[in-house]
Amino acid sequence: MKKIIPQGLLWLSLILAAPTLMAADILVKDGESIQGAVNKANTGDVILVHPGTYKESVYVDKDGITIRGVVIDGEWPVMEGEGVRNDAILYSGNDFTVEWLTITHYKGNAIMGQAGNNFVIRYNRVIDTGVYGIFPQFGKNGLIEYNVLSGIEDAAIYVGMCDNVDVRHNEVFDNVAGIEIENPRHALVENNYAHDNTAGLLVFITPGLPIKTTYDVVLRNNFVVNNNTANFGAPGSIVSKVPAGIGIVVMAADDVIVEGNIISGNKTAGIVVTDLAFITDISSDPDSEPNPDRMVFLDNLMFDNGADPVADVKALMLTQFSRSGPDILANLGSAQEPDNCIINRERYTSFGVKKWSECERKDTKDIVSMLIPGGAPSEVVTTEGRTKLLYQGICAGCHAYNLRMIGPPTLTVQALYLNDPQGIADYIAAPHKVRTDYPTMPPQGHLSPELLALQYWGRHRHMQPKISL
């Protein structure tokens, strides 16, 4: 009798017998283009960049792409901005990895994420890239590790409005802000070396952004030392207002745990806990709750902080009849309330923690990582959703709704281009300097003309101060 194979099994056998489509390695040699390789790449491909100098900007809007530098006998591939290009790498695809590159002399950013989930940024050297070094914005599930960054006029590592991010084993020095955790949820910052910045580690809320909260952040086992570099941030920007000499700043963020850090040699204070009035106007966004709540300070090694504090801290010291500057300064609003807690407070020179309770938690051994097991699902984005993400993943990195962050407030831009969507689209594609007191905006010419035009309307429709996600 003739054996009949069920149709489903027949199809399965044909699929298994077909040649397997494998991810490819795409080699890029000195004199060739990384962008050209990205254009040819498919999901799962690895772009291997050999030693050489690559004078270009690279845009990655595909999922599952890896850009990996090949280091041979100590020679690295170098992305060179020559002081004229704005950004080295911009990505918006999911499952993106970039590693083993030297990036230098860009005016804007070294590595910027414009949304995109499941990103990995590691083993890179970033030197003098202007505004931000590593800048994932509005992504979920990211790992930033083993990078070295210096000479950045805002934040060397800036995690903006992201969820579930681990930042570990990085060295940041000679920057304004070392590592900045701004409007994210669920972040672990551990085993980093932050030294000789204006401020070492910052966890805070910037009002006027689409996401209004910062919470569930762990700062653990970091070396935060000698952060006394004079602030060289862009005049008028929020970060330019951060006083020099601070190890850690917690501003308005909630549920922050500080444990096991070595914090020393910071001339203003080891740790400052404060509300939004510290560097900005708390009335600018009524939907951003201004006070830091539920701080948890566990065992940290702090010494030689506060040796030469700024004038306001000196004045506070006089009121306390203290000649020693603070290891911990809890200042303003609920920073002094008992829902914050500390253990072994007698080990530190501190102001403003008398009302803090004794912590019930003694360590964070139960917190291994903030990453999502199995990763975050890839975003399926509609055209409408894409315009919203464009604002949140691109514009909101420099523009808050009604106050200056780096660029002008969004309200100001809306007023200028209210009846001219094509005008704003043209400007976004090819910006030029309009105001002497603002830096030139990086061009977004990699976006399609349709999305450039829609970006304005997405901004106009969506960016109202009450938006929260």
Spatial neighbors of 122 by CB under 8 A, at least 6 apart, are 97, 99, 143, 144, 145, 146, 147
Strand pairing report for 301-303 and 177-182? unpaired
Spatial neighbors of 10 by CB under 8 A, at least 6 apart, are none
pLDDT per position as a tens digit, 30-61: 999 999 999 999 999 999 999 999 999 999 99
Answer yes or no: is 301 within a domain: yes
DSSP one-letter string for 65-94: -EEEE--BTTBPEEEE-TTT-SEEEEE-SS
Query: How far is it, in rounded angstroms, from Cα 6 to Cα 394?
Result: 52
Answer yes or no: is 439 within a domain: yes
Q: What is the mean pLDDT of residues 238-247?
A: 90
Judge if 162 and 305 occupy the same domain: yes
Judge if 444 and 314 occupy the same domain: no
pLDDT computed for residue 19 by the predictor = 43
Mean pLDDT score across all residues of the chain = 84
pLDDT per position as a tens digit, 252-274: 999 999 999 999 999 999 999 99
What percentage of the chain has pLDDT greater than the value 90?
60
Domain count, the chain: 2
Q: Of 328, 358, 388, which residue is a domain's last?
A: 358
Judge if 310 and 244 occupy the same domain: yes
φ/ψ of 254, rounded to 5, equals -115, 155
Confidence of residue 78 (pLDDT cuts 50, 70, 90): very high
Answer yes or no: is 239 within a domain: yes
pLDDT per position as a tens digit, 326-376: 999 997 555 667 799 999 999 999 988 988 999 999 999 999 999 999 999
Query: Residue 415: which domain range?
Result: 401-462
pLDDT at 119 over 80: yes
pLDDT per position as a tens digit, 416-464: 676 676 776 677 777 777 777 666 776 665 555 555 554 444 444 433 3
Answer yes or no: is 152 within a domain: yes
pLDDT per position as a tens digit, 81-113: 999 998 999 999 999 999 999 999 999 899 999
Judge if 416 and 333 occupy the same domain: no
The pTM for the full model equals 0.82
Question: Residue 354 burial by CB count (10 A; 0-12/13-18/19+): exposed, middle or buried?
Answer: exposed
Q: Of 358, 389, 422, which residue is a domain's last?
A: 358
Judge if 306 and 180 occupy the same domain: yes
Judge if 254 and 152 occupy the same domain: yes
What percentage of the chain has pLDDT greater than the value 70?
75
Q: What is the mean pLDDT of residues 284-297?
A: 86
Half-sphere exposure for 464 (CA within 13 Å, toward CB): 4
